[in-house]
Structures are given as C-alpha cells and as structure tokens.
Structure 1
Amino acid sequence: MSEIKAAQDKKKCDDCYKYRDELLKNSPAVIYMSQQIEKLAQTHPKYRKQIDNIDKSLFNKNNIDNSSESNKSPIFIPSKHLICDICPDNTKLAGFHPDLGILICANQISSSNKFLLESSITHEMIHYYDNMRFKVDLNNLKHHACTEIRASMLSGECAMSFEFFRKFSTFKMFGGFKDCVRRRATLSVINNPNCKSQEIAEKVVDEVWNSCFGDTRPFDDVFFG
C-alpha cells in the first residue's frame, strides 16, 4: 500500500470516528440503543463471560477515552465494539458480526450519504440487541429474516426521505414503509449463503413477517418518517 493511500485511509477512519462519537453523544436513537444493550448486559451476567473470551485485540482501533466507560459491562463498549475500518464490500455503510461487534465502513462515507450513518448504525445496533436477546443463528434464514425486518423497521432507514435518496420515487404514502422494510429484509436474506434464490428469501420473509414486524422492542413504537 502506498503512503498516500495509507494516509487517505487513515483520514477516512479518523473522520469516521468523529461521526461515530457525534452520534453517540447526540443521536437519540443511537443513545437509546446503547442504553438498552447495556440494560440487557446488566441483567444477564453470562454476557460478561462471553465477552471476556473474545480476542480484545480485534477491537484495538478506537479514538475515544475509555475512562467514561469504565463502569459499564463489557458486553457493549462503544469504543471497542463500534469500530471504523476500510471495507472491501462497497455496498453498505456498516455491518454486524455476532462475535466482533459493529463495523462502520469508513471508505463508504461521503458528504452525500453521511446523513444515512445514524440509521445504519442504529440498524446494526438492533442486530446486536437481537443477538443478545435471542442468540440469533444467521445460518437459519428465519432468524436472519426476522432480525432484518426489525432492523429495517426500527432504525428509521425506511423513512420517506431516505427512500427518495435511494431513488425509490414510487414510495407510496400508504404502504410504502412496509414495502421498504420487506424489500430491504429480502435483499439481505438473498445475500445469505444458505439462501438459494430470491423466491426462497421472499417466502421466508413472508413466513416471519407478522410476528417480527409486530415486535418493536426495545422501542415503544415505530418511526415511519
């Protein structure tokens, strides 16, 4: 890697951490999800042992003072489990791994899409929350479909303004929100290696739709935008 490319990537990661820290301080959704994850961790001591077994060096990229986090449980420490890095996948802003936490793709953030970062991080934090509650098995397509339905529904990413940004100009005033949630959940399931076709993805989403779309926890209601 050239020195110029390395410097560019470092700048992208530095900026990414600034955006992350701003959201951790100012975003109602991100703050609320952090609190709810912490609440789950405090009421389920088994998570302490689970996190203690994770290789902490995997989360050594952070630009935040850990002193303010010293009284938190180890299940979700933003500076350790919400990290920025350069991603080879150019299709999304962030991703979740059950063992490693949430990765924000610093190289995918631009001035034109930065406003999507809040909903993207909230989306992944809902996956984090669901995995704590249910121990989601992503090899199980129904599990995958359910957490994707909930994440798309609760993160705000299916707000009308975001759909227009994505060029879905046919967004309907009535039913458009559900269409967006269903579409995005189906697209995610299609990318699961265990899903063999779009028809299977659509069928699985349909099978779990009523129960998962009706589950708004930890929120009291859904933001339709």
Structure 2
Amino acid sequence: MTLIDPDSKEESAKTNDKQQTSEASQWGYDLYPDRRHQQKTAGFFTGKGRENIEKIKCERSVYQCIKESPLIKLMMGALRASGCPIDIRRHISCEECAPTVSGGYDPIMNQIVICQNTVTKTSLIHAVLTHEFVHMFDFCKNDLDFKNLDHLACTEVRAANLAHCSFVSAMLSGDASPINIKQAHQFCVKNKALSSILAARNVTESEAIAAINRVFTKCYADLEPIGRRIRRNSNDMSMAYEEGVYYGYG
C-alpha cells in the first residue's frame, strides 16, 4: 500500500486544478463554465435546470429547428449516414456560457453547446446549430484533430462558409462593398474563421491567419454535406435537403 502525505496530496490536487484550468483556457472550455463541473454527460431535456426559463426556451427552440429546418434535417441525416446518429438528449445541450460566445462543439463529450444566455432567438439558435453540426460532421467523418491548428482552421473555414457568411452579412460586418462582391464572401469566411479560432484557442492572430491561409483554398471548396453555399432569402436550404437524398443523407 502506498501512503500519501496529506500535504503532498493537497499540493497534488492544486497542481491538477491548475493543469485543468490551463487546459481549459487552451482549448476554450473556460468559455463554457458548466463543462468544468459536469461529472456526467449533460444533455437535452435532462431535467436539471428545467426551472430555468432561459434553458426551457433554448431547448424548445432547438427542438423547433430540428423539426422544421431542412438544413438541420440534412445535417442530422449526413451525420447518421456517416455512422454518427444524433440523439438530441445526448448530443445537444443548452447551457450558460461566457457572454462572448454563442455556442460551441465539445469534441471530448461529442456535444454541441447552445449558449442559452447569449442566444435567445430561434433564428440565431438555428445558425449556431448549423455551424456546430459542421464541426461535428468533420469530427465524425474527416478524423478532425482539434489539437492540430490547421485542422481547426479548416473546420472553421467550412463552418463559416456553409453556415454563416453571405454577401448581406459581409456588408453588415464591414467585410464587403458593392465594388468587391466577388471577394466579399471569402473575406467574410476568413474573418469569421479567424474570430472563432481566437475565441477558442490560445494562439496569436498571426498564427491563426497563417493556418487559415494554408488550408483556405482546399477547405473553402469543400461543401460537404450541404453541397452549396446558402444564400439569404432563397430556397437553397430546401434544395440542399432534397438533393441530400441522392447522397444518402435523407
């Protein structure tokens, strides 16, 4: 039997806490405080927090998106076809987050986090779900390694490309003007990917930009599983869902 001095045990616990805090800061989990205190998988409709109005509203909006959105249905079908079926009780969680983020994907728990305190509109929850489903799809099908900065940059480029950017949003964020319509979408994608990387990882801006530039051409051209860039005020989502049947995503 090995004996542990009480003082040594206490110091070891403090060291472990520091290491966990450092790791959380490195990988972004400090942005999702509930992640640090969960001993068991937190999930959708688990009962805990039902009294929280924000949580209830968030869960209802998530359920509405899953039932009604062609794009969300397509993403869930693509994950199922790739061997990663979605159980909303297990893989989607509405939680309190840092005020600077709207959602995230936790690869350790294979779970999408919707920030119930910062994202309150169904349309915004839909955008977060789509964005994070792209990360989940990449993790499932493309062996995404979040510790690899180039891998992270690629999935952020893809998520921004497929779920976030349009010419209208680029205009609103100051990334485009009517003069450079051709480049507007790419500018938006790069800027969105950059902000996502900097929010989630402890890297410098120059490191993040270099990674984005290394992977951009290849990852910007990869439109799986949606197959097209979704334009605002169009029927692109419905068309993508209908076309998904041909690829086994229905």
Q: TM-score of the superposition, structure 1-length normalised?
A: 0.73
Question: Which residue matches 1:35?
Answer: 77
Q: Which runs of 5 or more structure 1 residues have no equivalent in the other structure?
A: 1-5, 42-46, 48-74
1:92, distance to aligned residue in structure 2 (A): 2.2
CA distance in 1, matches of 2:49, 2:139: 35
With over 3 angstroms needed to count, the CA separation of the structure-2 counterparts of 1:160 and 1:8, relative to structure 1, is farther
1:170, distance to aligned residue in structure 2 (A): 5.1
* Structure 1 segment 114-133 matched on structure 2, within 5 A: 114-133=122-141
Query: Residue type of the partner of 1:123?
Result: H
1:29-82: per-residue Cα shift (whole Å, max 9, x none)? 1111011101111xxxxx6xxxxxxxxxxxxxxxxxxxxxxxxxxx42122211
Question: Which residue matches 1:71?
Answer: none
With over 3 angstroms needed to count, the CA separation of the structure-2 counterparts of 1:148 and 1:97, relative to structure 1, is same
CA distance in 1, matches of 2:49, 2:88: 25
Q: Which runs of 5 or more structure 2 residues have no equivalent in the other structure?
A: 1-47, 233-250
Quick one: percent identity of the two aligned structures?
Answer: 24
Q: Secondary structure at the match of 1:107?
A: coil
Kept after mapping to 2: 8 A contact 1:126/1:151: yes
Residue 214 (structure 1) aligned with residue 224 (structure 2):
no
Kept after mapping to 1: 8 A contact 2:55/2:94: yes
Segments ≥4 residues shifted beyond 4 Å:
6-9
CA distance in 2, matches of 1:108, 1:23: 17
Residue 103 (structure 1) aligned with residue 108 (structure 2):
no
Q: 2:142 aligns with which of 124, 134, 142?
A: 134
1:110, distance to aligned residue in structure 2 (A): 3.4
With over 3 angstroms needed to count, the CA separation of the structure-2 counterparts of 1:34 and 1:7, relative to structure 1, is closer
Question: Which residue matches 1:12?
Answer: 54
Backbone CA RMSD of aligned residues: 2.2
CA distance in 1, matches of 2:89, 2:59: 9
Q: Secondary structure at the match of 2:52?
A: helix
Query: Residue type of the partner of 2:183?
Result: G
CA distance in 2, matches of 1:138, 1:81: 18
1:160, distance to aligned residue in structure 2 (A): 3.6
With over 3 angstroms needed to count, the CA separation of the structure-2 counterparts of 1:142 and 1:10, relative to structure 1, is same
1:224, distance to aligned residue in structure 2 (A): 3.8
